[in-house]
């Protein structure tokens, strides 16, 4: 199956579990966590 001499990109693409981790971590940090931090950092509006 795998080979020690394989390029690291090939090793990455042959490892679905590592791809799964990256596929969850990258969008979660870039979109969800960053977005939530921004929304939760908003000061409450002052009502008239």
Binding interface with another protein (CB under 8 A): 1, 9-10, 12-14, 16-17, 19-20, 22-24, 26-28, 30-32, 34-36, 38-40, 42
Q: How far is the CB of 46 from another protein (least distance, A)?
A: 15
Q: Report the alpha-carbon distance of residue 5 to residue 23 in Å, rounded.
A: 25
Nearer to another protein, 4 or 38 (CB): 38
Q: How far is the CB of 10 from another protein (least distance, A)?
A: 7
**DSSP label at 28?**
I
Q: Which of 23, 26, 5 is nearest to 15 (CA)?
A: 23
């Amino acid at each position: 199956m795998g080979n020690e001499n394989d390029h690291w990109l090939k090793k990455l693409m042959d490892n679905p579990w590592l791809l799964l981790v990256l596929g969850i971590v990258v969008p979660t940090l870039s979109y969800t966590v960053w977005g939530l931090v921004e929304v939760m950092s908003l000061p409450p509006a002052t009502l008239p």
